[in-house]
Amino acid sequence: MNNEHDQVVTTEEVSSNGQAPATNAPIPPYPFVAIVGQAELKLALLLCVVNPTIGGVMVMGHRGTAKSTSVRALAAMLPPIKAVAGCPYSCAPDRPAGLCDQCRAIPAQKGKSKKLSVINIPVPVVDLPLGATEDRVCGTLDIERALTQGVQAFAPGLLARANRGFLYIDEVNLLEDHLVDVLLDVAASGVNVVEREGVSIRHPARFVLVGSGNPEEGDLRPQLLDRFGLHARITTITDVNERVEIVKRRREYDADPFAFAEKWSKETQKLQRKIKQAQRRLPDVVLPDPVLYKIAELCVKLEIDGHRGELTLARAATALAALEGRNEVTIQDVRRIAVLALRHRLRKDPLETQDDTVRIERAVEEVLVP
C-alpha cells in the first residue's frame, strides 16, 4: 500500500470495466474518504492541512493501520498548487516575501512588475528513508557541476522537494536524533540553512511534518516529541463489521483502482470543497478571550512545560472551527482536540499508573466546563 502513488500503468493494461486508462496514467492512491475508522488520525491531518502552523502530526500505532496510506491519500486529494516554473523549491508566485534567491533574481521587464512563469503541480509528498544522510536531507554541494564546470553549486535535498507539501517519516522513532533535531527546527522556522563546503544557502522549506512509528519499538525523546503539534494514537480496529469492510474496500481497490477512485469521487470532491472553504475562513475565525483563558488554565492544571501546549491548542481549535464552517472558537472545540494536542506534552512520572489520555480527559472535565 505504501507504493501506490509510484505505480504506472500502460495502454496494454485494461481496467475491469473494459476501459483502458490513459497512457502512463498513474494509479490513483487509495481515497482518503474511503479509509475506515481512524477518526483521530484523519482529524489531525485535516487540521494541519487547514492550518500548517499547527506543527505537524506524530502518529503512533500498530503496523498495518493505514498510517502511510492516510498521508498519501490526503495529499493526493488536495487541489494542485501554483508554483514558479523551474524553481527547485516550488515557490509560490503570489507570495513575493517567500521567494527563494533564484526566483528573486528573475529580472522584471522595463516599466513593469516582475512576471514569473507559473505552472500547476501536485502537492508534494516526500518520504524520508531511515538511512538518509544529513546531506541527502538538507542538500549539499553539487559534485557533478563542480567537476564538469568548476563552479560551486547547491544540490537541493529532500527538504527542498517537500516545500509546500508533506514530509513523511515512517518509523520516525528509529531515526537518528540529530536528523530529527534538524527536521523539527526547519519545520518550525520554514527555512533550511545550509553552510558547508563553501556553500551558503537559505531556501524556503515549509511543510507539514508527519511522523509515524510503532510504540513497541520505542518512543521519541520527550523534548523531540514535544515539537510535533499533534499526537495521534491509532490501534487495530476490533469491530468485526469494520474489519470486514476494510477487506472488502481493499479488495475492490486492488481489482480496479480507477473505478474505485471514481466511486468515491463525489465524497472526495465534497471534502476538497470543505478544506478550501476552511482555509479561506481561517483568518476570520475569532478566538474569544474566555476560551483562551480556559486553554491556559488547562495547561497549568496538567503542568505542561513551556507554552507550545497553549499555542497548539489555540491553532488547532481555530482550524477545527474553520473546518466546521464556524467563525468563532468554542469550549467544545478545545475539548475535542485537547487529547491530540497535549498527550505527548505531559511530564513522565514512572509512578503514575493512570493513562495519559485519562489524565487529560479528567482535567478537561474539571476545567473546560461547557
Q: Average of pLDDT values for 105-123?
A: 69
| Cβ burial, residue 171 (10 Å; 0-12/13-18/19+) | middle
- Residue pointed to by grid coordinates 503539534: 229
pLDDT confidence tier of residue 149, bands split at 50, 70 and 90: low
Whether 308 is catalytic: yes
Choose among 120, 119, 122, 93: nearest CA to 106.
Answer: 93
Q: Which residue has the higher pLDDT, 326 or 16?
A: 326
- Find the catalytic residue in 161, 164, 308, 343: 308
pLDDT confidence tier of residue 6, bands split at 50, 70 and 90: very low
Task: Return the domain boundaries, the chain.
Answer: 33-80+122-242, 285-368
Rounded to whole angstroms, how far apart are CA atoms 124 and 81? 9
Q: What is the fold, at CATH topology level, of the domain defined by 33-80+122-242?
A: Rossmann fold (3.40.50)
Looking at domain 285-368, which of 1.25.40.80, 3.90.226.10, 1.10.8.80, 3.40.50.2000 is its CATH number?
1.10.8.80
Of the candidate ranges 14-18, 29-33, 167-171, the one whose mean pLDDT is the lowest? 14-18
Q: What is the DSSP string of 229-291?
A: SEEEEE-----HHHHHHHHHHHHHHHH-HHHHHHHTHHHHHHHHHHHHHHHHHGGG-B--HHH
pLDDT at res. 108: 59
pLDDT higher than 70, residue 150:
no
pLDDT digits 0-9 by tens, 309-368: 899 999 999 999 999 999 999 999 999 999 999 988 887 766 665 677 888 888 888 888
Q: Which residue has the higher pLDDT, 128 or 313?
A: 313
* SS3 per-residue string spanning 289-345: HHHHHHHHHHHHHCCCCCCHHHHHHHHHHHHHHHHCCCCECCHHHHHHHHHHHHCCC
pLDDT digits 0-9 by tens, 151-163: 566 778 888 888 8
pTM, full prediction: 0.80
Greatest pairwise CA separation for the chain in angstroms: 71
The answer for residues whose C-beta is within 8 angstroms of residue 2's C-beta and 6 or more apart is: 68, 69, 72, 170
